Amino acid sequence: MNLKNRVALVTGAGKGLGKGIAIELATQGADIVINDLQYGEDVETVEHQIRALGRQSWFVAADITQEDAVKEMFSFVRNEIGKLDILVNNAGVDRPADIFSTSLEDWNFVIQTNLTGGFLCAKYALELMRNQQQGKIVNVSSVVGHQGALKGHVHYASSKSGLFGLTKTLARTAAAFGVNVNAVAPGVIETELSLKTHGEAGMETLRKGIPLGLGNVKDVGMAVAFLCSDAARYITGVTLDVNGGLYFR
């Protein structure tokens, strides 16, 4: 999975899955554009880890729900770096509540970040990749996009399911100019967000119900790195499940 001389932009890369994906891509040789809402200690840590691997890193603050901010981010990539080989649409949020307590504001917030943000980033990334006649896009979805969420995540599950349709449609569009578009659907991964959502007791209960136990961010990072590599040259429009046997389809 040699990604040497590739430039990858990872949204929401300050922590959690995004951090793990960014570091894994750098481990495989890529230089990384780190996106998050703002610069802070989390982003600084990611930068240091990437540079310790001998790779370059840049940070771009952008709210991916805002088209002007997304457009400006990709203008930076074009003008300051000169190319973009990989986009990982990872940024995501959740506001757990049952459907009767989920406000329209909460619904829009989750959908705009998880799905609309992915659309906007893909739109402007594809403009660069079309000119280059090559590139890779990976959308980070979730197992709940396939099976639905048990409770309290109607907007999250809907947004993650929407990413499957976005992935398939973009794959058909982008194939004409040499771009592969795929998705990964993680199961229960040990991150700050999952621990906050489920609690330690909840995570232990989930672990017992998964044949391979809980996953970690490197498991997801390796799957993304594969889809971004030449080894996946003939793969597009698919979703790679990374769930330890939690869900089969």
Tell me, what's the pLDDT at 30?
98
CA angle 191, 243, 229 (to 5 degrees): 90
Tell me, what's the pLDDT at 152?
78
**Per-residue pLDDT tens for 133-150?**
999 999 999 999 999 987
Task: Name every residue whose Cβ is closer than 8 Å to that of residue 54 and which is 6 or more positions away in sequence.
Answer: none
124 is catalytic: no
At CB < 8 A and 24+ separation, what contacts does 81-84 make?
Answer: 81/7, 81/33, 83/7, 83/128, 83/132, 84/7, 84/8, 84/9, 84/33, 84/125, 84/128, 84/129, 84/132, 84/135
Read off the pLDDT of each residue in 72-91 and give the average, rounded to a whole number: 98
The model's pTM: 0.96
- How do beta strands 135-140 and 86-89 pair? parallel
Instruction: Report the C-alpha gap between 144 and 49 in whole angstroms.
Output: 31
Q: Which two tokens stand for residue 211?
A: 């044949």
**Per-residue pLDDT tens for 108-138?**
999 999 999 999 999 999 999 999 999 999 9
* 177: confidence class by pLDDT, cuts 50, 70, 90: very high
**Per-residue pLDDT tens for 1-41?**
899 999 999 999 999 999 999 999 999 999 999 999 999 99
Domains along the sequence of the chain with CATH: 7-241 (3.40.50.720)
Residue among 124, 156, 234, 247 flagged as catalytic: 156
Instruction: Report the C-alpha gap between 46 and 68 in whole angstroms.
Output: 26
